[in-house]
Amino acid sequence: MRAPLAALLASVASSVLLASCIGIYPVTVATRMPADLDMTPYSRLLVAGFNGTAIDDVDTNAETVRLLRSQLRAVRSLTIVNAAAIPVTDMLFVDASFWRRIGEEYRQPLVLTGTVSLSTERRTATQYRDRETFDDEGRRRTDATRSAVDVETRVLRARLLYIDGRTGAIIHADTFQEQTSYAPTQNVPALSSYFELIGRVVPAVLGTVSDHSVVGSRALLR
């Protein structure tokens, strides 16, 4: 009985030692994802124009057209149409005949349009700070204090519509709301806020019309 027992104990010890040598570590994994839209029918994309309002004379139509065209030129499978920004209204978005005419003029591209607005909202927020104090015996303690502060929040709201230039029909829509806050004393230009916020929208636009990678983490055994 002693020999089998000794062998069993040795096997258990080896298993424990092996398990102690195994570690788990995370690795970054990029998963290739197809475009959200079936882009097979389209080789051209027209960033047409955007309706919306803004502050401090920021032209959200011209700026959004310029920025998206610049970023979309990185999509090698698409030709980005270079044309003047089209002034659009909410009523035009559902006017299929209007978009068919635009499609005929620009060789039936996929059309990107919609609304983009920038606004300022002011509110009062609670700010927490740590305050360091010492008692009579010199012992340090940290107390959390709170105070009311005024903040200025810039809000970007966007509704992006993808229209088939052949039929004039809306085939895809995305809605976004992005915001950033400042102390009123910072005096951040509205145009700077616009570029910060619209920059958060750009990856979604690229993912809609082109293949893209989704980066995540995975645990592997060492």
Q: Give the tens place of pLDDT for each residue, 149-189.
A: 788 999 999 999 999 999 999 999 999 999 999 987 888 99
- Please report the pLDDT score of residue 1 as a whole number: 45
**Residue 147 falls inside a structural domain:** no
Q: Give the tens place of pLDDT for each residue, 156-166.
A: 999 999 999 99
pTM (whole model) above 0.85: no
Q: How many domains does the chain have?
A: 1
- Please report the pLDDT score of residue 139 as a whole number: 76
**Residue 105 falls inside a structural domain:** yes
Give the pLDDT band (50/70/90) at residue 122: confident
**Residue 2 falls inside a structural domain:** no
- Please report the pLDDT score of residue 8 as a whole number: 47
For residue 5, give every residue at least 6 positions away whose Cβ sits within 8 Å of its Cβ, in sequence order, or none. none
**Residue 58 falls inside a structural domain:** yes
For residue 93, give every residue at least 6 positions away whose Cβ sits within 8 Å of its Cβ, in sequence order, or none. 113, 114, 161, 170
**Residue 192 falls inside a structural domain:** no
Q: Give the tens place of pLDDT for each residue, 15-43.
A: 544 445 556 667 776 677 899 999 999 99
CATH number, domain containing residue 115: 3.40.50
Q: Give, in order, the Cα–Cα distances in Å from 121 to each of 103, 118, 151.
A: 39, 10, 8
**Residue 108 falls inside a structural domain:** yes
Domain ranges, residue 23: 19-119+157-177+198-221
Would you say residue 200 has pLDDT above 60? yes
